[in-house]
Chain A
């Protein structure tokens, strides 16, 4: 059943401080809404339990991209279009730019935000594996102040995360240290646009002079209750040359490390096979990439 707008409250204080004091006064009562690409879908379906919403759309404090020599700091309210059109993101963090391009159509990219994608916490979200491999850090803000936390273990279970009821994500920080890495991203879905992933992968890697793997980071979406970093697989392959046996082992380990399910979009068996194939493809590309320390 469609929701009745008369049952809902929405206010737009227009600045971050005012939003934070609202959240501080009545934590858990208010649901922040940015571009609405997830919240309004639940609302339209009559599945939005919280009745008080506060707009964080286009808050100037959240819509900046700040560049320093070591780091890029992306405001949580930046849209996918903002990410796609940013030259440094396109050049140094292409996995994030690709994910932004894959998410929805242009209209959704004009409204959906990076912070919204994180807190919506869909295991199928395309930008989240990219944030895992770039080892993003989040700046969380509340009336009590700011704290900086690694994104790596931010999600603790399906739609659960380490975010207090009075907190917002203020920014996502990415270290500018991946210039000599191979950046690999692939999404497998029913069609290229407007389709949620059956499996998506983001990976980074580089080799040593002799061809052994110096460093890899691999993350997958749509294969577990949370976006998943394959730390165990990474540990095993580091220091070894990319040979057919290693690729085969990695394929098996990937399938063992994930917990895919059967759902409307795909089956666990298909996801498991595809996830293994994609990780194998990444390693094969890494071997021929010439990306060395």
Chain B
């Protein structure tokens, strides 16, 4: 995963050492400060569940939680994530136990091709953290920055409603 060999011996000067906590695990990487957080996650840490869609903050495929806030990791320079606590899709399930959102997406048909799904789950997770009992309007707004070209969104909204209901009754 470490791509120092791929750099072809390219000058390492200018790289900085970055410590961050990813999915509960402390990590230290040596990266250029303007490297995108998305690339640090995927290439340095091997966490390829976070996807790149548009690369300009419009599609939400690269959504992660940084210090509890939903962000597009394609728009975050690595240096601004120094010391941050991050949650990616790999940190959502508890071992083999799916998170309520993941289970609901499966049951409701909220995922087809899957590219938008990690971002959808993270955005839904952020929404339910802020509003445990969201209205349909809240869900639509909470996911408005995440584009899906397969489902037509309805199944995704149903999945979030179902997960919220289950969490409330749990």
Q: What residues of chain A have their CB less than 8 Å away from a CB belonging to chain B?
A: 3, 5-6, 8-12, 33, 35-37, 40-41, 43-45, 53, 55, 57, 81, 104-108, 110-111, 192-194
Q: Do B144 and A40 touch across chains, with their CB atoms under 8 A apart?
A: no
- Complex alpha-carbon distance, A57 and B77, angstroms: 11
**Given A37-B57, A40-B77, A194-B58: A6 in contact with B32 (beta carbons within 8 A):** yes
- Complex alpha-carbon distance, A9 and B123, angstroms: 31
Q: Do B58 and A6 touch across chains, with their CB atoms under 8 A apart?
A: no
Contacts of A9 in B (CB 8 A): 14, 33-34
Q: How far is the CB of A115 from chain B (nearest CB, A)?
A: 16
- Complex alpha-carbon distance, A192 and B36, angstroms: 28
8 Å CB contact of A105 from B14, B69, B145: B145
Q: Do B58 and A40 touch across chains, with their CB atoms under 8 A apart?
A: no
Q: Do A12 and B60 touch across chains, with their CB atoms under 8 A apart?
A: no
| B74 at the binding interface (Cβ < 8 Å) | yes
Return the chain B residue nearest A3 by Cβ. Answer: B34
Q: Do B56 and A110 touch across chains, with their CB atoms under 8 A apart?
A: no
Q: Do A55 and B80 touch across chains, with their CB atoms under 8 A apart?
A: yes
Q: How far is the CB of A141 from chain B (nearest CB, A)?
A: 21
Q: Do A106 and B123 touch across chains, with their CB atoms under 8 A apart?
A: yes
Q: How far is the CB of A109 from chain B (nearest CB, A)?
A: 8
Contacts of A107 in B (CB 8 A): 57, 60, 63, 70-72, 123, 145
Q: Which of A3, A5, A33 has the most CB of B within 10 A?
A: A5
8 Å CB contact of A108 from B11, B72, B80, B143: B72
**Given A45-B56, A194-B145: A6 in contact with B14 (beta carbons within 8 A):** yes
Return the chain B residue nearest A105 by Cβ. Answer: B145
**Given A12-B80, A106-B141: A40 in contact with B74 (beta carbons within 8 A):** yes
Contacts of B76 in A (CB 8 A): 36, 40, 111
Q: How far is the CB of B149 from chain A (nearest CB, A)?
A: 14
8 Å CB contact of A8 from B34, B80, B126, B143: B34
Q: Write the B47-89 contact mask toward A (1 if CB under 8 angstroms, else 0).
A: 0000000011110100100000111101111011010000000
- Complex alpha-carbon distance, A44 and B127, angstroms: 28
Contacts of A193 in B (CB 8 A): 141, 144-145
Q: Do B10 and A10 touch across chains, with their CB atoms under 8 A apart?
A: no
- Complex alpha-carbon distance, A41 and B57, angstroms: 8
Contacts of B146 in A (CB 8 A): 105
- Complex alpha-carbon distance, A194 and B148, angstroms: 13
- Complex alpha-carbon distance, A40 and B69, angstroms: 18
Contacts of B63 in A (CB 8 A): 107
Return the chain B residue nearest A8 by Cβ. Answer: B34
- Complex alpha-carbon distance, A5 and B80, angstroms: 14
Shortest Cβ-Cβ A-B pairs, 9 listed: A105-B145, A193-B144, A5-B32, A10-B33, A8-B34, A40-B75, A5-B34, A5-B35, A41-B56
- Complex alpha-carbon distance, A8 and B74, angstroms: 16
**7 other contacts beyond A57-B80, A110-B70, A194-B145, with CB at 8 A cut-off?**
A37-B75, A55-B79, A105-B145, A106-B126, A107-B57, A193-B144, A194-B144
- Complex alpha-carbon distance, A194 and B59, angstroms: 9
Q: Do B144 and A10 touch across chains, with their CB atoms under 8 A apart?
A: no
**Given A37-B57, A194-B145: A43 in contact with B34 (beta carbons within 8 A):** yes
**Given A36-B76, A40-B77: A104 in contact with B145 (beta carbons within 8 A):** yes
Q: Do B10 and A6 touch across chains, with their CB atoms under 8 A apart?
A: yes
**Given A106-B141, A106-B144: A41 in contact with B75 (beta carbons within 8 A):** yes
Q: Do B75 and A36 touch across chains, with their CB atoms under 8 A apart?
A: yes
A-B contacts, 7 listed (Cβ < 8 Å):
A6-B10, A35-B75, A53-B77, A107-B70, A107-B71, A111-B72, A194-B147
Contacts of A194 in B (CB 8 A): 58, 144-145, 147
